[in-house]
Structures are given as structure tokens and as C-alpha cells.
Structure 1
């Protein structure tokens, strides 16, 4: 009787264990499919051009409002950068769009606030170190302007597509040539239709 119970326990654990393994494997496949679907949705969303946010002039911390408080020529620099951002095409790739949006929403306003929040003591401290606040602001505005200009020139998505196509062609044709899959019929020989 005990031997029968032992045999039942052994067979039960084998069949129950394989069902458990099958269940886990199925869950893993489902999880992988869900992850692939989520990645595909993110890639699709990234391919859609996202509109740039229009600055709200009612916000006292918005870059246009802050730019108007600057002395010349920094005011013109900041407003020129804002115009460059506003004129950015809608079909930018994801990296360029991110840089332009961040410059408009974060980098430029923070830079302008840092300058406008300088106290007389802070200006004196900069002066003792041989730095002028207006010159520093101009340099920072130049850096952002150059960065945005370069981002607008670059098309990362087109370059990525070209690299992807090159990898595909290398895999397809180099691998096929090595395996002998690219055997074409002689130009003047006739191949029966049932052989094609």
C-alpha cells in the first residue's frame, strides 16, 4: 500500500511539475509578447511628430516673459533662440524634438532665471573672479542657440533608417552568398514554370 502511494506521489509530482513548467513557460511567452507590444507602441508614438508646446505668456516664469526683462543684446539673443524654437519643423526625429522641447521648457527659462535672480553681491563675486554676468549669459545663450541649430540640421531618424537598411542588406546578402542561396539561372537558359 505504501509502495502504491509512493508511486502515485512520484507520478503526480512529475506530471504536476511538467504542468507547472508549461504554465511558467506560457506566462513567460505572454510577458515577452506584452513587452514587444509595449515597445512597438512606444516606437510608433516616437515616430509621430509631437507638437511643440506654445509658451504661455501668463506664466511669469515662461522664457518669453523672462527674455523681455534682459538687457540688450542678451534680450535679442534669447528672443532669437525662442523664434528658432518656434519655427522648428514638426517632423523632427525624437532626439531633436526632445532637445528643442527641453530648451524651450527647461534649459532657457532656468538660464534666464539664474541671471535675473543675481543679486548685487553675486555680481560682485563674479566680478572678483574676472567674470561678467552679461558675458556669461551671452555665452550660455550662444551654446543653446548652437545646440538647437545643430539639432534642427540633423535628422537622426533618417540616419538610423540608413544604418538599419545597411545591416539588413549585409545580413541578407552576405549570409545568402555564404550559404549559396543566390544561385541565379543562366541568362539564356529557360527554366520551366513549374520549377520556378
Structure 2
């Protein structure tokens, strides 16, 4: 016996409703999953980007540190070389007696001089030069210096020069300046790189 049409419509409606609910749940799950996957992908992308930036920052930090350390090492090396020449300048300023005589004689021998120029030194170094260049400590008789060459007849003036360390040979037409500090500076400019390489070649 057939069910009344009302019952059949009611049952069909229930089945349709159940199917609709099932499909709706499935669609909802799909949408949620898609949203989750998209969110996960975005999170992963952001995480990857953040990780990359972090690694880049670390690399840059290390690079800056390494460069900073190398720059510091280079600065120390340069200071060591510079200190060597500073010590040479100090040593030259302190030489006396035979050592000073030899150094002054060598400097003059390298120049074209007439031999009768007048020597000037700083006020504080006057006694030291007289003692080194004259056996009698007489500034008008620099026998220890003059015996180095037959044409030498140098004398030492009591009038001081502006050259703090070193001496000046004065003639009517010219002055020859022998500034010990400038001599060291010239030598430094000419040989600094060679000395640097020799000192730090094994690093």
C-alpha cells in the first residue's frame, strides 16, 4: 500500500535535508581546510622570510665584526710600525759623543758643501754638539768634525736655530737644514711598507 503523498514528500524532504547537511559539512570542512592551508602557507612564507632576514642579519653582524676586527688589527699593525719610527726619532735626539759625531759627519759628507759654512743648533743642544765635534769643546774649532775632509773648516755659532733636533749649515747664499725628525719622516715614507711586510708577513 502506497504511503500517502504527504508522507512521501516528508520523507523525501528529510533525505534531501540530510544530504544537504552532509554536503554543507563537507563544504565547510573544505573551506576551513583551504583557509588553514592558506594560512599555513602564509605563516610558512613569513617564517621563511623572517628566518632569511635573521640569517642575513647574523651574517651582516658577523661580517661587520670580522671587518671591524681586521680593521682593528690593521690599525694596531700601523701603530706598531709608526712607533718604531718614533723610537728612532727619540734615539736620534738622544745620541751624543762619538755616535753624534759619526752621524753628523755622514750627513754632511752626502751633501755638496764648501766647508766653511757656520753650524747652528738649538739652544738646548749646543753643549752636546760642542762636546761631540770639538776635542777642546771650542765652538770655533770643530776639529773632530773637520778632520773628516781637508776642505772642512766648520764652526759652531752660539746663535740658535729653529731646528729643535738636528742642525743647520748657514752660508751667505743658502742654508742647509738637517732636521733629524724630518730625516726620520723621509726614511719612514720610503721604507714603511717594506718594514710592515717584514714584520707581519707570517700573519
What range describes the TM-score normalised by the shorter chain of this pair? 0.3 to 0.5
Larger relative strand fraction: 2
Larger relative helix fraction: 1
Which TM-score applies when normalising by structure 2? 0.33
Which TM-score applies when normalising by structure 1? 0.34
